[in-house]
Amino acid sequence: MVEGDQARPLAPASDQLGSDEEEAALHIKKLRRKKCIKCCACISALLIIQAVVIIILIFTVFRVKDPVIKLNGFTITKLELINGTTPKPGSNISLIADVSVKNPNLASFKYTNTSTTLYYYGTVVGEARGPAGRAKARRTMRMNISVDMITDQILASPNLSGDLSSGTLTMSSYSRIGGRVNIINIIKKHVTVKMNCSMTVNISSQAIQQQKCKRKVDL
């Protein structure tokens, strides 16, 4: 009985140290796991915030806006008249049209060759093509386009005598310009602008008295 009542021997010290080390290792693993979860959550939140910001910018600041073409005026460089009023039959009228391309986007607008057709009461009386170019961000690019008008087509119109007596010409134009807007290599849009204009031109001053334009943009 005395021997049975004696205390049992304690576990070896090496076993106690081993269990403590295992608990410490498990604790460290748990801490690392929590840190990894927190880091992943932070990275995910940052990515989501960036994605939201980019989407907002795409639909607001970086939204591709329509370029605007405008005919500002023209200057006649060659005109042969009879009695100072009527264009000479068989001759051509040469003029330079002042055209501007306004780019309201935050990136440059690179456009190809432009084309403009002039009409006099529905009849084609002149055509012109402008060179390719680049309109800088939020800038307006102005260019001069040479136009050769067919005099005989104008003289054949029954409306010419009335326009000459009033001192004005009622004309219309169709312009087309195609190009591409590139915003920080993320948003690339091909844009084609088509514009129909009706105008009243003062014969003596060569100024556009009135102009109305309708624009159509294909993205």
H-state helical runs in 63-149: none
- Of residues 119 and 70, more confidence is placed in 119
The radius of gyration of the chain from alpha carbons, rounded to an integer in Å, stands at 38
**pLDDT (tens digit, 9 = 90+) per residue, 115-155?**
888 898 989 988 887 788 887 878 888 888 888 788 888 88
Q: Nearest-CA neighbor of 170 among 200, 125, 211, 209? A: 200
Q: Nearest-CA neighbor of 146 among 133, 161, 129, 134? A: 129
CA 209-212-215 angle, 5° bins = 145
Half-sphere exposure of 143 toward its Cβ, with a 13 Å CA cutoff? 20
Phi, psi of 162 (to 5 degrees): -65, -40
Distance from C-alpha of 18 to C-alpha of 21, rounded to nearest angstrom: 5
Q: What is the average per-residue pLDDT within 80-99?
A: 72
DSSP H/E element including 204: none
Contact 194, 69 (CB under 8 A): no
pLDDT value of residue 147: 81
Contact 133, 143 (CB under 8 A): yes
DSSP H/E element including 174: strand 168-183
**Entry field: residues in the chain:** 219
pLDDT value of residue 84: 60
Q: Which are the contacts of 146, defined by CB distance < 8 A and separation ≥ 6?
A: 94, 95, 96, 97, 128
Distance from C-alpha of 116 to C-alpha of 69, rounded to nearest angstrom: 11
Segment of 1-5, 31-35, 118-122, 166-170 carrying the highest mean pLDDT: 118-122
Is the pLDDT at 166 greater than 70? The verdict is: yes
pLDDT value of residue 1: 47
Point out the least confidently predicted range of 30-39, 86-95, 197-206.
86-95
Mean pLDDT of the chain: 75
pLDDT band at 19 (very low <50, low <70, confident <90, very high): low
pLDDT value of residue 81: 67
Contact 149, 102 (CB under 8 A): no
**pLDDT (tens digit, 9 = 90+) per residue, 35-56?**
888 888 788 878 887 767 666 6
Contact 98, 73 (CB under 8 A): yes
pLDDT band at 58 (very low <50, low <70, confident <90, very high): low
pLDDT value of residue 69: 73
